[in-house]
Amino acid sequence: MKQLLILSIALTSQSLWGQISLDQSDMPSVGDYIPRKSDTMTVLPGPGGSGPNQVWNFTTLSAYVITENTSVVSVASTPNGNQFGNSNMAMTNDNASYLYFNKNAQSFSTQGFSGDLLGTGVINAVFNPDLTLHQFPRTFGSIFSDTYVIDVTVPGASINPLLSQINFKRTSVVHDTTDAWGQLTTPHGTYDVLRIHTMEVFSDSIWAQPIFPPTWNLVSTSIDTTHSYSWVGKGGKLAIAEMSFDTLGLPKIFKWTELPGIGVGLEESSVDILEIYPNPCETVLTMRTQETKVGSDFSIMNALGMLVSTGLITEVNQSINIAHLAPGSYTLCVGEKHQHFIKH
């Protein structure tokens, strides 16, 4: 009986250790730079089973890698931020198109996107209503559904010179289920995670208005359903890993983040610190790093990967004059650590 009791306590402790709960502190914040990679060519394994205490191993997914780094910036620093008044941050991979988000104690949601997505000029697609991505706290077994509508009209001449305007509308229902917890291993590390299964049912319609006669005509309609899985962890900011599927239901793309310091068993004291602020910045950038980095060199690279500035770290909180840099996107590097920033 005593041995059974000890075993029961041990199993219970392991379950409590393995299960996690996510809140707003685990989401992105302005100033974050999130390195991400994706594999689109390797034959991908499936998403695995649901339920407690699962193990997912995706360490082989590194043969065909695409790098996709995400910067989290303020709404005010984006060209069309005034169109997304409910948002308190934006994310971009190219400093030209942006996704807008709102983070609070109850949820993390997206308000829409802005960019030249169709080659017809900048589109400001505001979701109505906002689409909820997380409800807090997120735990194993959490379930919710949400709806959103995209309704945008763009000039038609770039697609057909006889068209005045084209309208695209999507109405979508998204079902979100936290269906598993366990340990995930990617090419970057091992993590305690929750797995999310997302099913989206959407209907699309495309309308066209000729120059003459200027009447709207229905071009096409469609209804479809997509499935995706994502694995989220404490301090992961974005999903630690994501899997999407092709039209046949087979795994198509696997993405993962490469943030330091959030893997299983990593001691806080072993994590190199590199923080910068304010971001975006105009003249003086402040860099905070560890005392052990004093005496090391730092470098600044532009968006093309060209070295544009170097210096010596002389104190833990160091001011760096960037007034001479042209406005744009830059990366501050200290050893293997790097942080992305925007110069206005």
pLDDT in tens, 281-299: 889 998 888 778 889 899 8
Helices and strands per DSSP (H, E), number in the chain = 1, 22
Q: What confidence tens digit (pLDDT) does each residue in 38-94 have?
A: 887 677 788 999 999 999 999 887 656 777 788 899 999 999 999 999 999 999 988
257, 289, 320 - which closes a domain: 257
Q: Count of CB atoms within 10 A of residue 122's CB?
A: 14
Do 203 and 296 reside in the same domain of the chain?
no
Q: Which two tokens stand for residue 337?
A: 């650590």
Eight-state DSSP code of residue 82: G
Predicted local distance difference test score (pLDDT) of residue 168: 94
Task: Examine the domain organization and report whether 251 and 290 are in the same domain.
Answer: no
What phi and psi, each to the nearest 5 degrees, are found at residue 334?
-135, 105
pLDDT-derived band at 272, boundaries 50, 70, 90:
low
Q: Give yes or no for residue 266 having a pLDDT over 70.
A: no
Q: Which residue has the higher pLDDT, 10 or 116?
A: 116
Nearest to 51 by CA among 185, 195, 211: 195
DSSP state of 160: -
pLDDT value of residue 18: 58
| Cα distance between residue 300 and residue 284, in whole Å | 13
Same domain, 118 and 159: yes
- Same domain? 101 vs 162: yes
Per-residue pLDDT, 1: 32
What distance in Å separates the CA atoms of residue 44 and residue 257, rounded to the nearest whole number? Answer: 17
Strand partners, 320: 285
Please tell me whether residues 203 and 317 are part of one structural domain.
no
Distance CA 38, CA 61 (A): 8
pLDDT on residue 270: 35
pLDDT digits (tens, 9 = 90+) for 154-177: 998 878 899 999 999 999 999 999
**Residues 247 and 276 reside in one and the same domain:** no
Does one domain contain both 326 and 202? no
Yes or no: say if 221 and 92 are a contact pair by the CB < 8 Å rule. no
**What are the pLDDT digits (tens) for 216-234?**
999 999 999 999 999 999 9
The answer to whether position 310 is within a domain reads yes
Same domain, yes or no: 276 and 246: no
Q: What is the pTM of this model?
A: 0.74
Q: Residues near 236 by Cβ (< 8 Å), separated by ≥ 6?
A: 26, 191, 257, 259, 262
How many domains does the chain divide into? 2
CATH number at residue 121: 2.40.360
338 falls within a domain: yes
Q: What is the pLDDT of residue 260?
A: 61
Residue 12 included in any domain: no
Q: How many Cβ atoms are within 10 Å of 151's Cβ, its own excluded?
A: 14
- Do 251 and 46 form a contact (C-beta atoms < 8 A)? yes
Domain that holds residue 297: 272-343
pLDDT surpasses 80 at 126: yes
Averaged confidence pLDDT in the chain = 85
| Whole-number Å distance between alpha carbons of 52 and 55 | 9
Is 11 a member of any domain?
A: no
Query: What is the helix (H) or strand (E) element at residue 145, kind and residue range?
Result: strand 143-155
Give yes or no: residues 205 and 128 share one domain: yes
The CATH number of whichever domain residue 315 belongs to comes to: 2.60.40.10
Same domain for 298 and 245, yes or no, is no
Whether residue 205 is found in the same domain as residue 337: no
pLDDT band at 261 (very low <50, low <70, confident <90, very high): low
Q: Tell me, yes or no, whether 279 lies in a domain.
A: yes
| The domain boundary residue, chosen from 201, 224, 257 | 257
Mean pLDDT of 249-276: 65
CA distance 236 to 301: 25
Q: What was the pLDDT predicted at 271?
A: 40
The per-residue pLDDT for 54 is 95
Longest dimension (CA), the chain: 87
Say how far apart CA 292 and CA 342 lie, in whole Å. 27
Which of 234, 257, 280 represents a domain boundary (last residue)?
Answer: 257
Does residue 36 have a pLDDT over 50?
yes
Which residues face 274 on adjacent strands?
289
Task: Report the C-alpha gap between 199 and 195 in whole angstroms.
Answer: 13
Are 163 and 198 found together in one domain?
yes
